[in-house]
Structure formats: C-alpha cells, structure tokens
Amino acid sequence: MLFTTFYFSGTGNTKWVVEQFKSTVIQSGHQAELYSIDDFKRCKSENLIKIVKESTCIGFANPIYGADIPSIMKAFIRFLTDSLKTEKVYSKPFYFINTFGYVNAYGPFEAKKLFDKDCFKLMAYVNIRVCNNISTYRHKSQLVSSKKLRIRKARAEDELKIMINRLLSSKKHIKGIGPYLLPGILIRKKTQKVIQNNYQLLSVQAKTCNRCMLCLNNCPTRCIKLNNQQFEFSAECTACMRCYNFCPTASIWINGIYTDPKEYFRYRGPE
Ligand SMILES: Cc1cc2nc3c(=O)[nH]c(=O)nc-3n(C[C@H](O)[C@H](O)[C@H](O)COP(=O)(O)O)c2cc1C
Ligand code: SF4
Ligand code: SF4
C-alpha cells in the first residue's frame, strides 16, 4: 500500500509527526510519501492527479489555528479537489492528522465538510498534541519542557501506530469527537478575523533587521515582499508565525510591539 501525506507545518511539529508516520508505515512493510504544501500554487494539477492516482490512501496533516484548519491547507484541499473533478476515478480513503498545543477543536465532522464525498472517504482522524508554538505580547506562554515534549512524542508515536494498523486493516479510526468540539465553535468565531488579519499586525523593524531574507524566502505563502526597502505583508498570510519564530534578530514585530525572545520564546521545532 502507498500512503501519501500532504502536509503543512509552520514551525516543525507537524513535519515531525508526518515523518514518524512515514517511518512507521515503512517499518510495517508498506510505502509512504510526504509532500509539503508550502507554495503549492507553483505545482501543476496534473502532477497532483498522478500522485493521487498512484496512492492507496491520501492523508492531510496540519496544525490547528484558532480551532480551525490553516487557510493554506483549506486552499490546497480546494485546489486538489477541483483538480480531481476533471477526472473520474476516485473514492480514495483519506486520513487527517492535526497537531495542536492546548486544545484541538476542529473535529472530523468539520474536516469532512472540506471534501467532496465522491472524491475522498474519511477513514482516520487523529489529533496529536505536541506543544504550543507561539508566545507574543497578546498571548504569553511558556515553552514546554523537554521532558514533557519527550512524553508527548512517545505518546504521538503510539497514537500513530494504532492509526496505521487500523488503516492497514481497512478499519475506521476516528478520534477527536467530544464535548470540546463545542467551545471550539466559539474559539473559531472569536479568532477567525484575528487570524485572517494577521498580516496587518506584522512588520519588520528596520533598525535591527540584517536583511538576511530568511523570512521572505521561507514564508510558505510568499506573502512577504520587499518594496523600496520596506517589507510588506499581504493577505495570503496563513498566520503560521514562521517569520516571527525564525527571524535571527527578532525583528518581526507584532502590532508595532517588540517582544524580547528572552521573555517570549521563539519556537523552532520539536527537535
Ligand atoms: C495562529 C496560531 C493559532 C493557533 N491556535 C491554536 C489552537 O486553537 N489550539 C491549539 O491547541 N493550538 C493552537 N496553536 C498551536 C499550534 O497548533 C501547534 O503548536 C502546532 O503543533 C504547530 O504545528 P507546526 O509546528 O507544524 O506549525 C496555534 C498556533 C498558531 C501559530
Ligand atoms: S528574517 Fe529577520 S533579519 Fe532576516 S530579513 Fe527577515 S526580518 Fe530581517
Ligand atoms: S508572513 Fe509570516 S506568518 Fe504569514 S504566512 Fe508568511 S511566514 Fe507565516
């Protein structure tokens, strides 16, 4: 069987999870491929159709933002399902993996809404708790300890093994249904606008920026531009906070406010 996972990872948690997924599938004697959807607009839909056709099972993996799926993943799913509409074939089984820090509240029902049911059939849905990846003046949080992270990673590996075994025996494995889906509806309502407008809050502090261009080159939606020596952020921003977390000089400010990395951690992945 060939398991193909399309993933988005802003700061590395989801990437780590899908890499574990891949190695477990391979250890079980099957095949697995991973495709990052960063900058997916540059890829050709014929290539995607070919990838889907050759796969036994398709997966989608992403972090949870404001109890929702990041806009980049939603746009990718629309792009993929639209590309597939021109073809007949499909009712491929699919799995959904979400990573989160505190509370996942997306839920398999919501995930299913994104897909054309003739296209993909939901076989597995899991939420993997890794850790929060953002600390700002708006939401100051503590970096999770390495001990806690180790425990969560071990738990994640177990959860993935169970999911893979179920998929291999063509059995459904749907997690993430529970009472916490209800507050999720409120969280989504409350944070939707803030996340959509994230780009308006971001700016580059010229005094400290060393023009390394890391933010611009690593932005998954290519929404940072340098015009007349001024950095500009546009609405395609998916709020991943990669630019904020990885800037070597902490020159990305939020709402015009400097956040000292000694006080507000910058998160650069679970490794
Ligand atoms: C804009 C934003 C919103 C987030 N919202 C939530 C949330 O609603 N619930 C939660 O548990 N974690 C939330 N997180 C934390 C991420 O879901 C979590 O750290 C995830 O594992 C990051 O994955 P990545 O490293 O692959 O980007 C949020 C992170 C960001 C940047
Ligand atoms: S990553 Fe930071 S230092 Fe590098 S160009 Fe962007 S803002 Fe400037
Ligand atoms: S501008 Fe920053 S937060 Fe927005 S998508 Fe690009 S890297 Fe992510």
Confidence of residue 146 (pLDDT cuts 50, 70, 90): very high
Q: Quote the ligand 1 centre to 9 CA distance (angstroms).
A: 10
**DSSP code of 144?**
P
Structure tokens at 135: 């600390």
Q: Quote the ligand 2 centre to 13 CA distance (angstroms).
A: 22
Atom 3 of ligand 2 has which residue's CA nearest to it? 209
Q: Quote the ligand 3 centre to 70 CA distance (angstroms).
A: 11
Structure tokens at 154: 């071990």
Summarised one tens digit per residue, pLDDT across range 150-170 is: 999 999 999 999 999 999 999
Write down the pLDDT at residue 158: 98
Which of 9, 17, 68, 134 gets mutated to test ligand 1 (max ligand atoms within 8 A of its CB)? Answer: 134
The answer, yes or no, to whether residue 265 has pLDDT greater than 60, is yes
Atom 8 of ligand 2 has which residue's CA nearest to it? 209
Total-model pTM: 0.97
**DSSP code of 210?**
-
| Mean pLDDT of the residues in the chain | 94
The answer, yes or no, to whether residue 175 has pLDDT greater than 80, is yes
Distance of CA 29 to the CA centre of its chain: 27
Structure tokens at 260: 């000292």
Dihedral angle sign, alpha carbons of residues 178, 120, 55, 76: negative
Q: What average pLDDT does range 122-151 have in this prediction?
A: 95
The more confident residue out of 87 and 249 is: 249
Write down the pLDDT at residue 88: 61
Atom 5 of ligand 3 has which residue's CA nearest to it? 237
Summarised one tens digit per residue, pLDDT across range 219-249 is: 999 999 999 999 999 999 999 999 999 999 9
Alpha-carbon Rg for the chain, nearest whole angstrom, is 19
Q: Which residues are within 8 A (CB) of 163 and not within 5 positions of it... i.e. 6 or more apart?
A: 95, 124, 126, 173
